[in-house]
A and B are shown apart, each in its own frame.
Chain A
Amino acid sequence: MDYLNKLEQQSIYIMREAFNKFENLAMLWSIGKDSTVLLWLARKAFFGHVPFPLVHVDTTYKIASMIEYRDRLVREWKMDLIVGKNEEVLNSGVTFPNGKATRVQCCGTLKKDGLKKVLDEHHFTGVIVGVRRDEEPTRAKERYFSPRDKNMEWNVEDQPPELWDQFKTDFDKDTHIRIHPLLHWTELNIWEYIERENMPIIPLYFSNAQGERYRSLGCAPCTGMIKSKAGTVREIIEELRHTKTAERSGRAQDKESEDAFEKLRRDGYM
């Protein structure tokens, strides 16, 4: 069994544990490469079906083609999509693109609080999220089954032990569990898997006419492109094998202060 198979089989196991243990389960889908791989793995785990709703937290500042792509795949794969928006904040206009909030504040209200609203409205107790340990240091410490308290806060100093594929599936009411089936994958693994499975992926990751591509997808105002000639999945893999630049280097909100992202995550950001 090669290492991609090992990663895949482990993720399937985790996904099935989640589906068995949580009555109100949803999966976050950001349209990006990771959560689209997650979606693919769900179909593997459940033999072609996606037996829980997908949640997309829409900040309304997403790159336009992401939304078109999202709606097309939902139709083709017959999935149940819930779109969450923080209407209150959007209506008040206190956002970074309007110049009325910092990037981190904007992420906090539109994404983090937007997510909390959806969870509360639908009473989700389990949320599958496509974060990976190699993305950035705080995620390196995550658990596969990671509890959040009623304010969505993450107590990183006191995490449950996780051994022998026995996960935290007993929890108090008002809390919820984030499930991270891709935790042990790297960015390179994701692309190798996309190639192996011949999976569809949003074309924003491929080099455009100006010789630029997105390496990580987010809101248009805060997500930069990288210089790259990689126009195919294979070329992206080759590029990643040589790069020494961090994956989220194009994500401006991580850089507002030394511990900006760490704070966001403790507060319940994905």
Chain B
Amino acid sequence: MQTNAPTEQLKIVIVGHVDHGKSTFVGRLFHDTGSLAEGKLEQLQLIAERRGVPFEWANLMDALQSERDQNITIDTAQIWFQTKKRQYVIIDAPGHKEFLKNMVTGAANAEAALLLIDANEGVQEQSRRHGYLLNLLGIRQIAVLVNKMDLQDYSQARFDAIEKEYRQFLGSLGVTPKCFIPIAAKHGDNIASISANMPWWTGPTVLASLDEFKLANRPVNQPLRFPIQDVYRFDERRILAGRIESGTLKVGDRLLFSPGNKTSVVKTVERWNAPSSDVATAGESIGVTLTEQIFVERGAIASLEVNPPNDLVRFKARLFWLGRQPFRRGRLYKLKLATQEVECEIEAIERIIDSSTLGTITRTEDEVYVGRNEVAELTLRTKRPVAFDVHADIIATGRFVIVDGFEVSGGGIIAQDDYPRRSVDGSIRSEHIYWSHGKVTAEHRARRNGHPGYVLWLTGLSGSGKSTIATELERELFNMGKNAYVLDGDNVRHGLNSDLAFSPKDRKENIRRVGELSKLFQDAGVITIAAFISPYRSDRDLVRQMVAEGRFIEVYINAPLEVCEQRDVKGLYSKARAQEIKEFTGISAPYETPLQPELELDTDQMTVAESVARILEYLHICAEEDEISI
């Protein structure tokens, strides 16, 4: 054991075909680096003697009863050892095909890999499959150990032949291994020191090649990706918590949250019992607070507006499947990508690959699935938009797992494709979308209904009486046999606009959507009663412009702030005064009074019935002009 403190740690995974000597190698490596606990070797030798079996180095790792019986590594185990250079975590992954999910678990957590090939048996099914998966899992540092050289009389020719064959296989995947080393793990040949049994080998040893591996760099210079894990309100702070997966974030940055298109500015970077800093970089689990409270929840990925992730419902991927049941087209699965969870399905399978031969597996048209331990190139479609990147660009947001029932059953990386880039403001607009006109005109509808469609836009402070008047008016119109419908601010925010908060930007978007909705209702011939605070003049004017000429009726529900606050039906004013609600119109956010509303109703002086009557009266006037009675 080294006495100096280790300054770095590297995780390596040991893979290869079953019985090619991984556990023996690990045991020997552990012993040769002086990492064994005192008495452990003697204890295991004693146990072997008691059972009347020869001592095996593999027993060091295979501590579980069932493994000792079967003599194969069932699960991924981890142990530690040190060289002069650094500390290592060894992940011993099983070589049996049955346990591929354990191999994947081990390899996915490693930064480098040692792949063992038995000199006697040569390259086998799992040798190739593991090589393929290491590449898919993103491991680029691989050393190949040709083991059991003692069984081949330490023959250089045998070693060269295996190296040639396997190097060619890896080459076809685009993988260049760091080196091939001939070893005999059982006897320690070329592990910690150069073996006298292979004078033709001048190095490196396994330990030397390990120390050549490099630590993975934190992607601090890549575009910012900050997936939100959770939103905490343990105290007065509203903290968005998560880990920065790539890039750098600092106070004052305007963050874009995807999917969706909300933005806000970083107010503080939060940590506990750590040096305070206004900057956080890749790998840090931190929290941020925002200057504007917008609605953000787990799953959103924060980025900088100049370099956002894709925000789409379809992508291409390479996927491996571990599930007991095949991955089938026509079924919905849960996709987990960073902290997002969304339902997905196979749109098309381009190719199914046998990873041990690289051959294509062909299936009939009606049998579209990826079977256990198979790999596929395919297109996935999600039910809601997901934020993602191409794996080659940003690793953490370019990979995903698929959950079937309760089980994580597959994983994949997102492939390059022609993904449409979003415009800067995020809304994907196409110049090739035209308004399609039906054969039923507004006049046809008006004749059938006995009245044209309108948008009655009720604007005013909270508590001014918008909803009360709206619902009363709706009932009156309904009783008169008219088609009327209320779009209520609170109701819309439960559904259509549940992703919006109360920042100026979200309020604007809230009104824009409601405007579009009102326009469609009006076009369908409905007397649409829209009751929204809609505090900004420009937003209301925007809706006016959307709706057909003369069909937009702005009704200013006017009551003094003091009256509204006194009414305080929903208890919101007292909360706003107590600063429990931020950006509350009239208290901490502005209300811009209409300049030329079609109607103005002073509800501190009029009853509800009087107000409704005034609106009906106004509609009568309109109706006369249209010669269609109401």
Residues of B within 8 A of A45 (CB): 241, 285
B285 touches A13 (CB 8 A): yes
A140 touches B79 (CB 8 A): yes
Given contacts A1-B283, A16-B229, A163-B411, contact A9 B104 (CB under 8 A): no
B8 touches A164 (CB 8 A): no
Residues of B within 8 A of A134 (CB): 78-80
Residues of A within 8 A of B78 (CB): 133-134, 140, 184
B285 touches A156 (CB 8 A): no
Given contacts A43-B272, A43-B273, contact A17 B229 (CB under 8 A): yes
Contact of A3 among B7, B101, B243 (CB under 8 A): B7
Contact of B63 among A3, A16, A40, A137 (CB under 8 A): A137
Tell me the smallest distance from the CB of B332 to a CB of chain A, in Å: 14
Given contacts A160-B408, A170-B403, contact A245 B87 (CB under 8 A): no
A9 touches B285 (CB 8 A): yes
A117 within 8 A of B: no
B229 touches A20 (CB 8 A): yes
Residues of A within 8 A of B411 (CB): 161, 163-164, 166
B207 within 8 A of A: no
Given contacts A46-B232, A242-B1, contact A258 B285 (CB under 8 A): no
Interface residues of B in 55-89 (CB under 8 A from A): 61, 63-66, 74-80, 87, 89
Selecting from A47-55, A82-90, A99-107, A210-218, the interface stretch reads: A47-55
Chain B: CB-nearest residue to A10: B285
Given contacts A161-B102, A164-B401, contact A48 B272 (CB under 8 A): yes
| 0/1 interface trace, chain B 234-252, chain A, CB 8 Å (1 if under) | 1101010111000000000
Interface residues of A in 188-245 (CB under 8 A from B): 192, 197, 241-242, 244-245
- CA A242 to CA B5, docked complex, whole Å: 11
- CA A2 to CA B322, docked complex, whole Å: 34
B37 within 8 A of A: yes
Tell me the smallest distance from the CB of A15 to a CB of chain B, in Å: 9
A241 touches B1 (CB 8 A): yes
B230 within 8 A of A: yes
B405 within 8 A of A: yes
Contact of A137 among B77, B218, B239 (CB under 8 A): B77
Chain A: CB-nearest residue to B404: A170
B38 touches A161 (CB 8 A): no
B407 within 8 A of A: yes
Q: Name the residue in B61, B65, B242, B285 with the highest tally of chain A Cβ atoms < 10 Å from its Cβ.
A: B285
A262 within 8 A of B: yes
Given contacts A3-B7, A47-B239, A47-B287, contact A184 B89 (CB under 8 A): yes
Size bin of chain B's contact surface: 35 or more
- CA A161 to CA B101, docked complex, whole Å: 5
B270 touches A47 (CB 8 A): yes
B336 within 8 A of A: yes
A157 within 8 A of B: yes
Given contacts A241-B5, A262-B64, contact A44 B77 (CB under 8 A): no
B283 touches A161 (CB 8 A): no
| 0/1 interface trace, chain A 140-156, chain B, CB 8 Å (1 if under) | 11010000000000001
A96 within 8 A of B: no
A12 within 8 A of B: yes
B551 within 8 A of A: no
B274 within 8 A of A: yes
B9 touches A6 (CB 8 A): yes
Given contacts A44-B273, A162-B105, contact A244 B137 (CB under 8 A): no
B434 within 8 A of A: no
- CA A245 to CA B408, docked complex, whole Å: 38
Tell me the smallest distance from the CB of A224 to a CB of chain B, in Å: 16
Contact of B65 among A3, A241, A262 (CB under 8 A): A262
Chain B: CB-nearest residue to A140: B77
Tell me the smallest distance from the CB of B109 to a CB of chain A, in Å: 7
Residues of B within 8 A of A35 (CB): none
B79 touches A3 (CB 8 A): no
Contact of A159 among B7, B40, B102, B274 (CB under 8 A): B102
B334 within 8 A of A: yes
- CA A160 to CA B401, docked complex, whole Å: 12
Tell me the smallest distance from the CB of B29 to a CB of chain A, in Å: 15
Subset of 12 A-B contacts with CB under 8 Å: A3-B7, A3-B9, A13-B243, A44-B271, A46-B232, A46-B234, A48-B272, A134-B80, A138-B63, A140-B77, A160-B101, A258-B47
Which 9 A-B pairs have CB atoms at the shortest separation, nearest pair first? Answer: A137-B63, A163-B108, A244-B38, A161-B101, A12-B285, A140-B77, A166-B401, A49-B234, A141-B75
Q: Which residues of A contact B (CB under 8 A)?
A: 1-3, 5-6, 9, 12-13, 16-17, 19-20, 40, 43-49, 51, 133-134, 136-138, 140-141, 143, 156-157, 159-164, 166, 168, 170-172, 184, 186, 192, 197, 241-242, 244-246, 258-259, 262
Task: Please give 16 more A-B residue pairs, beta carbons under 8 A apart, in addition to A159-B102, A163-B401, A184-B89.
Answer: A3-B7, A5-B283, A6-B283, A44-B273, A47-B287, A49-B235, A136-B63, A156-B74, A157-B75, A161-B411, A162-B105, A163-B137, A170-B334, A170-B407, A197-B273, A262-B65
